[in-house]
Amino acid sequence: MTYDYTSIGFYTFDCLGRPVTEIPPGGNTYFIEEVTMAVSGAAGAAAIVGAKYGLKVLAVGGIGDDLMGDWVIRRLNQFAVDTSMMQTCKGVGTSSSIVTTRPDGQRPALHMRGATGAFVVSEQDYDKVLDSKVIHMGGTGLMDRMDGERSFKLMKEAKRRGRITTLDVFAADRKDMANVAGLLPFTDYFIPSIEEAQALSGLRTKEDIGRYFNDLGVQCTVMTMGENGAYYHHIDGTRFHMPAFDIDVVCTCGCGDAFNAGFAAGIIRGLNPEEATRLGQASSALNATGLGSQAGIVDLESTLAFLQRARSRTSCAA
């Protein structure tokens, strides 16, 4: 196949600053220590992490005809991501965020939805978009024109062609469940955060949530749980909960997206479930050590070295 990883969906331009403890009143100014820019989003951040890990990546999404869109394409190209399937959507801006990173790494944001809701993958593009070992759809719930039947048809065709499929969502709510449920029968690995999984399912425990999504057709749910690690729940009965790494957090922006790419890289490299999950966790942990998506990730060799030296937290939540 031409590509290792096709990353479809949510690409956003982020401007980030830290540390931010409060917004200045009126027209006042507060000084902060660091400002940066990043390509983020459940598809965008994953695309760059995958490329850093040596995967041949195809980016599929939308940008506006604006300065932010120009920068997003330039940044993706710096990592040799193929951007030939990124669409310039007229009449909308590039999806963009102003991220106010807190001292504890949390990142409240102001977001403009923009072109993520305007792009479409047409059937005539399937041969190129699906010419990849792993098809990742990231950002269900934000892709106004793709969510629903268009996404279902694309992922169904990916499975018909024998591709490995992964799915992530954006700020899930119970109302998004119809979009997600339609994709799960064509999804090998559903990778939400525990908060998103709880919101979608209406359930609380990871075991109940895993069974719920299995019943809807997904092969495996891998829930990222922040400082509480990650939980793997496969329909074949393979289930485990791994603790998180013990790190000093700078910014949590893009951590789940980095996990997506790290996990996929593990699958492509033939790692077993525990090893692939651990590579995803290491990717997420390193991501959190810098400001902005992918900032703390250098390359696969550095992440593998981190895996050898890093300490895990002593326990993970049940």
pLDDT for 1-31, tens place per residue? 999 999 999 999 999 999 999 999 999 999 9
DSSP at 236? T
Residues 6 or more apart whose Cβ sits within 8 Å of residue 8: 43, 60, 61, 121, 129, 135, 136, 137, 138, 154
What pairs with residue 60 in β-bridges?
8, 85
The answer to whether the beta carbons of residues 205 and 175 sit under 8 Å apart is no
- How far CA 156 is from CA of 151, 160, 242, in Å, comes to 8, 6, 31
What are the pLDDT digits (tens) for 26-78?
999 999 999 999 999 999 999 999 999 999 999 999 999 999 999 999 999 99
- φ, ψ for residue 208 (rounded to 5)? -65, -40
What's the start-to-end Cα distance of the chain, in Å? 40
Distance of CA 3 to the CA centre of its chain: 18
- The pTM for the full model equals 0.97
